[in-house]
Copies of this chain bind each other. A is one copy, B any other.
Amino acid sequence: MGKGRIKLGMLGGGKGAFIGIAHRIAAYMGERYELVGGAFDSDYDKALEFASDLQLDASRVYPDTETLIKKENLLPESERIEVVSIVTPNFLHFDMAKKLLEGGFHVVCEKPMTMTSAEAEILADLVKSSGKQLCLTHTYTGYPMVRQMKTMIAAGEVGTIQRVDVQYYQGWINPLIHDEKLRKSIWRLDPKRAGISSCMGDIGVHGFNLVEYTTGIEITAVLSDLNTLYKDNTLDVDGTVLLRLAGGAKGVLRSSQIATGEENNIMIMVYGDKGALKWQQENPNELTLLKENHPLQILKPGHSYNAQFTKDSTKMPPGHPEGIFDAMGNLYRGMAKAVRGEKLENGEFPTVQDGVRGMHFIEKVVKSNKDGNVWITI
């Protein structure tokens, strides 16, 4: 384990790829990473040009994952890339993550981690056996007020949970789905490239993750009602999932990509016998606390009343709104602490286990719907 900045590599994220920019900014934010190379583009010439824009040494630009692994491992440990961020198309994630872990690298992986739960389990085993870290960018867990929500629930602030309600509504597939040609042309609805689910696989799973993250309780069974809207479309674009949590609490997960006009409307509400907490992603710096016979309370970042974990997840005084890059930056910061063996708070970044659970969720939700809206145990 080295000192100083962590050497960072990247797979994908070449010119114009906004997800690559997001990961780089997140890495820069904590001033703990130094981007030194990667395999940025399947077109090697473009990769070289892009690397030159970033002022990177051409010798650290690789044509593919295998070469990166081989060549970096020839470098002295102090110069070698330690963490590699995977920001390629989804179907490549598993293979890349597998090779990187086997090759001795820590991995930051965009969501979804894999295409199947079987693959996810393989990665989980590999993380265990390799001793390397894997950070899955369920970015919403990096928001300070989501962390405050988790901390408060853990501290018993809302008591025993008796209802959970999570929503993830987007509308972006609506303008594409009503024309047959158009809907056949988008990768998100192509099972070969997108896997077995569109709505639940891409965004519903974030809702699932937020429930487990904030409550600290596992979802044990699901009953789903999915909608593909057209018969010739095989992947869900909308759905509702009844939830059963360990301990018996009930809940519901609602998700749609055809909620026309919605942008990225994630919301979570957790009701316990002592109070309730609510959070919305599009207004991420407010956490609402409901208590019987008390005024509604709105907590915000930067205040002394927040938990230490929350305070550490913000960089500015109250009233200076931070956003989604800052949330992702918090995940990268957590990963840096893990890589350097520093003490971590519970929940500083989503791990391979979150990826495993997410893939199980997706598969079980699809199965429940296929089997006629029946309960399936996770």
**A298 is contacted by which of B52, B274, B295 (Cβ under 8 Å)?**
B295
Query: Could you say which of A27-35, A59-67, A99-107, A116-124 contacts chain B?
Result: A27-35
Chosen A-B contacts, 11 in total, with CB atoms closer than 8 Å, are A25-B28, A163-B258, A225-B242, A252-B254, A258-B273, A259-B271, A260-B291, A261-B292, A283-B283, A296-B297, A325-B326
Number of interface residues of A (CB under 8 A): 88
Are A162 and B242 interface neighbours, CB within 8 A?
A: no
A308-330 CB contact bits vs B (8 Å, 1 = yes)?
00000001111111111110000
Query: In the complex this chain forms, how many copies of it are found?
Result: 4
Question: Closest CB-CB distance, A145 to chain B, in whole Å?
Answer: 11
Q: Which of A162, A172, A261, A317 has the most CB of B within 10 A?
A: A261
Task: Report whether A34 and B55 are in contact in the complex, using a CB–CB cutoff of 8 Å.
Answer: yes
Scoring A residues 251 to 266 as 1 if CB is less than 8 Å from chain B, else 0, what string do you get? 1101010111111110
Interface residues of A (CB under 8 A from B): 4-5, 18, 21-22, 24-25, 28-29, 31, 34, 52-55, 158, 162-163, 165, 170-172, 174-175, 178, 223, 225, 227, 229, 238, 240, 242, 250-252, 254, 256, 258-265, 269, 271-276, 281-285, 289-300, 302-305, 315-326, 373-375
Q: Please give, as numbers and ranges, the residues of chain B lying within 8 Å of A263 by CB-CB distance.
A: 300, 302, 317-319
Q: Which 6 A-B pairs have the closest CB atoms?
A: A261-B290, A264-B319, A263-B319, A323-B323, A28-B28, A263-B318
**Inter-subunit contact A322/B323 (CB<8 Å):** yes
What chain B residues lie within 8 Å of A25 (beta carbons)? 28-29, 315
Whole-angstrom distance between the Cβ of A149 and the nearest chain B Cβ: 13
Alpha-carbon distance between A373 and B371 when the two chains are bound, in angstroms: 13
The closest CB in chain B to the CB of A167 belongs to B165
Bound CA–CA A237/B318 (angstroms)? 19
- 15 additional A-B pairs beyond A28-B28, A263-B317, A373-B374, beta carbons within 8 Å, are A162-B260, A170-B319, A174-B273, A175-B292, A223-B223, A256-B271, A259-B269, A260-B291, A261-B275, A261-B292, A264-B319, A281-B321, A283-B283, A321-B324, A325-B326
User: Hey, which chain B residues are within 8 Å of A322, CB to CB?
Assistant: 323-325
In the complex, the answer to whether B5 meets A55 with C-beta atoms within 8 Å is: yes
